[in-house]
Chains A and B, each alone.
Chain A
Amino acid sequence: MARARSFDVTTLPGFAITAILAFVLLYAPIITLVFYSFNGGNSVNQWGGLSLKWYAIAAQNEAVQQAALRSLIIALWAAVIATAVATMAALGTTRRGKFKGQTFIYIVINQPLMVPEIVTAVALLIFFSSVKIATGYSGLGYLILAHSAFCVPFAYLPIKARVEGMDTSMETAAADLYATSWNTFRFITLPLLLPGIIAGAMLAFITSLDNVIITEFVKSAGQDTLPTYMLGQLRRAMTPEVNAISTALLALTVLILIIFYFVTKKRD
């Protein structure tokens, strides 16, 4: 019988229409958003001719400039800190065989993926406000710390995959050749893990760049990031400036994803 052939989803009735619908749902809004960012008019849904006007306006808007700078600073720091923590966590959880409390450690590392973000946001708000009172410090440090924490699992997953794919015989050979554990890490483990670490750092960077909820709760007055700035704009009249900023963010993300793709692809 013809049915004996292996199962193929594409032969299911309605496959094509479902696929098309899914793509439309996913991408139509984004395409519209990008399209109207080039609008010469003042509306986010009425076409007024092709123009880069709103990009220029956004670029000259001091609030946007500052928010963008803040976003980048926070995302960079968060990526660096989260990646460092994630690298140590990945080595710790995969390089020493099974140990007591391993599941617990996984839960701790991946907690940001499981606990509803709003809960973390409220908890951080309350926690940091008492720290602020106690220390008097109210800089970007709180946002950087909060972002670092929820970026850890995103950095952890690709690094862990890389560690698991790496033969322990490399480290054994290094130890055999008089390398201390630090030198083994520095000259052997780290270079071999680098593609995973870069991938993890980029995922962490994007995750931080994009965050709204925790940022909104943790930020002090005048600490808007790009996403929270845009959220603030919603309360006023929306102009295609928001489209332009979103499109720029999208372009940055796509660029990073492309690099991510090549970095993870090339070395394997």
Chain B
Amino acid sequence: MKTDHAIDACNVSKIYGAGARAVTALGDVSIGIKQGEFFTLLGPSGCGKTTLLRCIAGFETPTSGTILLFGRDITHTPPNQRPVNTVFQSYALFPHLSVAQNVGFGLKMQGKPAAEVAQEVERVLALVKLEDFADRLPQQLSGGQQQRVALARALAPKPEVLLLDEPLSALDLKLRKEMQSELKRLQTETGITFIFVTHDQEEALTMSDRIGVMSAGALMQVGPPREIYDHPVNRFVADFIGETNFLVGQVDGQGLRIGSGDVIAVPLNGQTGEVTLAVRPEQINIGPAGTGVAAKIIDMTYLGTDTHYTVALGDASTLVARVQSNSGASLSVGDSVGITFDAKAVQVLAS
């Protein structure tokens, strides 16, 4: 089978334990990851991200389903025979081996001659800017440097797919930002397919070519960051990615009504009765009273570049709007205002 997919997971389920104590970590997950893409698995703690990664790496065997690597079934191939390497969350560096020996371990195990190993180690250490640390032991490095060693170690054997399980979660914010662009650069330079796991939505949005949002062992939505952000398919995704206002509306003959009955122009595709709307704070415009939906400002928070206004609609439901602080409008708590939305920005969700 010819395919441009580096990894295909087909109907993969993983159940830990048996009987009454069985835990379904993955329930029938299917996903195709394209060659050379930076793919992120995003989801809250315990949703099965690590489990899916471990199935791809070969540390776990799926209870059912198959894993394909470039179309080849590797579901039962042992991890040491898969051209797939992992950057572990805890780094898992070998404490008794030097940085160079750690990085060269995979090549050595592949039976490469010592000279070639040394040359490759040097190249990869340069790639992660650790040339000067080759002879140190892992415990003589800072957290960020250990992170780079773990990355170099996984990259050195030139895997076809690199798995990264929350590799940045132990770093402080500044280092984290640095490593994010570093990872992105390495991915572009090496052209290796990256499958990156995180529960940080901002990290996912900035780094990925595509994101798979997971919840409770299932994939909710797969798509490019923009699409996931602008068109979340359900309430979970809308809530998990970015800040979102949820509103209950009624669809009747005239259209969609919110607040105390104001009709808003939103493309509907056949929904009737009660629906849930999702709208991002930055997509709410605050205008003078009389325009759009009648509302009242009940709270404001100044956040530097932006100001957050909490507004109450006629039916007492509230929304948060984000407005640029220098936009000129002088609004204060208690003001009556009118709210308008960009029609395309409002998502009607299957709730």
Q: Give me the interface of A with B, judged by CB distance under 8 Å.
A: 167, 169-170, 172-180, 183, 187-188, 191-192
Contacts and interface: CB of A to CB of B under 8 A. Distances in A.
Nearest to A188: B94
Interface in B235-267: none
14 contacts: A167-B92, A170-B94, A174-B105, A176-B58, A176-B59, A177-B80, A177-B85, A177-B154, A177-B157, A178-B81, A178-B106, A187-B105, A191-B96, A192-B95
Given A178-B109, A178-B110, A183-B109, A173 B80 contact: no
Given A175-B78, A179-B105, 18 more contacts: A167-B92, A169-B92, A170-B92, A173-B92, A173-B93, A174-B109, A175-B79, A175-B80, A176-B59, A177-B80, A177-B105, A177-B109, A177-B157, A178-B106, A178-B157, A179-B109, A180-B109, A188-B94
Interface of B: 57-59, 78-81, 84-86, 88, 90, 92-96, 105-106, 109-110, 153-154, 157
A170 B80 CA distance: 14
B79 A176 contact: yes
Contacts of A174: 94, 105, 109
Contacts of B84: 176
Nearest to B101: A187
B78 A169 contact: no
A169 B90 contact: yes
Contacts of A169: 88, 90, 92
Contacts of B96: 191-192
Nearest to B85: A176
Given A169-B88, A183-B109, A176 B80 contact: yes
Of B80, B84, B157, chain A has the most CB atoms within 10 Å of the CB of B80
Given A183-B109, A192-B96, A178 B80 contact: yes
Contacts of A183: 109
**Most chain B CB neighbours (cut-off 10 Å) among A172, A178, A187:** A178
